[in-house]
């Protein structure tokens, strides 16, 4: 089922990956929203993080934990990438147009310099899919929703997707929409063929969120 064939609200929610109805914006009505509608919310005075999916505005929720973790991942990537002048790391406000003219907001994205066309920096929306997209899961995300996102990323040219779960302290590493390896705090996360030489212990990734231990 697709959103275009949905007959009921239940059908629509199912087609969007079984997400909660409170994430779907009703103005403009689902199926009629445009990129300008999305940009008005993303760039407006009262900013709302929304993605545009089949002309439906869907809010992308992020808690404090997820926000800090995404920033830390972007920092780790930048510390490796920037000195080597490999590319650019985008944060949670980077808007990317994927296949089907969907607008997505990966929590972290990595673009190679060799990917970027002239005028890239002047665009409000990236026409280029990142080589690496990172999604930090929040409580409102569903498995089916994330499957849809992965399909869109890889169909648009992304080569690597990390799905980071703060609750289980795991990172699922995808090199295609379905094949993945799940890393735990006993493992090391690497950049694989996309970012050769980059590595960070998964435990270090998540321990950033732990308060410092003070001596008794």
> Do 47 and 86 share a domain, yes or no?
no
> Do 43 and 128 share a domain, yes or no?
no
Q: Is residue 215 domain-resident?
A: no
Number of domains in the chain: 2
What is the CA angle 32-37-39, rounded to 5? 145
Q: Is residue 213 domain-resident?
A: no
Q: Is residue 212 domain-resident?
A: no
Q: What SS3 class is residue 166?
A: coil
Sign of CA pseudo-dihedral 125, 102, 64, 110: negative
5: how many CB neighbours lie within 10 A of its CB?
9
> Do 44 and 134 share a domain, yes or no?
no
Q: Is residue 214 domain-resident?
A: no
Each residue of 23-52: pLDDT tens digit? 999 999 999 999 999 999 999 888 899 999
> Do 38 and 83 share a domain, yes or no?
no
Listed as ranges, residues in the chain with pLDDT below 50 are none
Q: Is residue 108 domain-resident?
A: yes
pLDDT of residue 142: 97
The token pair that represents 75 in the structure block: 């920092």
pLDDT of residue 214: 76
Q: List helix spans (H) across the chain.
A: 9-15, 35-43, 64-84, 143-155, 202-207
* The model's pTM: 0.95
Q: What SS3 class is residue 212?
A: coil
Q: What is the CATH number of the domain that holds 193?
A: 3.90.1570.10
126 secondary structure, DSSP code: B
**Domain containing 132: what range?**
64-207
> Do 26 and 116 share a domain, yes or no?
no
> Do 11 and 95 share a domain, yes or no?
no
Residues near 129 by beta carbon (within 8 Å), at least 6 away in sequence? 96, 98, 153, 156, 157, 158
The H-or-E segment that residue 167 falls in is: none
pLDDT of residue 97: 98
pLDDT of residue 203: 97
Of 14, 30, 59, the residue at which a domain comes to its end is 59
> Do 20 and 90 share a domain, yes or no?
no
Can you tell me the distance from the alpha carbon of 51 to that of 40, in angstroms, rounded to the nearest whole number? 12
> Do 93 and 129 share a domain, yes or no?
yes
> Do 55 and 70 share a domain, yes or no?
no
> Do 190 and 97 share a domain, yes or no?
yes
């Amino acid at each position: 089922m697709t959103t275009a064939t949905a007959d009921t609200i239940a059908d629509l929610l199912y087609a969007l990956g079984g997400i909660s109805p409170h994430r779907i914006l009703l103005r403009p009505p689902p199926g009629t929203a445009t990129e300008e509608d999305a940009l008005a919310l993303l760039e407006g005075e009262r900013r709302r993080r929304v993605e545009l999916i089949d002309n439906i505005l869907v809010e992308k929720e992020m808690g404090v934990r997820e926000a800090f973790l995404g920033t830390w991942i972007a920092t780790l990537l930048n510390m490796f990438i920037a000195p080597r002048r490999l590319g650019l790391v985008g944060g949670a406000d980077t808007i990317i147009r994927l296949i089907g003219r969907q607008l997505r907001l990966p929590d972290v994205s990595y673009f190679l310099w060799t990917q970027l066309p002239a005028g890239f920096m002047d665009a409000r929306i990236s026409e280029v899919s990142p080589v690496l997209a990172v999604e930090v899961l929040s409580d409102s995300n569903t498995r089916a929703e994330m499957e849809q996102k992965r399909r869109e990323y890889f169909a648009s040219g992304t080569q690597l997707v990390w799905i980071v779960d703060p609750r289980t302290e795991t990172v699922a590493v995808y090199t295609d929409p379905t094949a993945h390896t799940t890393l735990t705090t006993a493992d090391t996360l690497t950049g694989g063929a996309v970012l050769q030489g980059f590595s960070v212990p998964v435990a270090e990734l998540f321990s950033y969120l732990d308060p410092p231990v003070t001596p008794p």
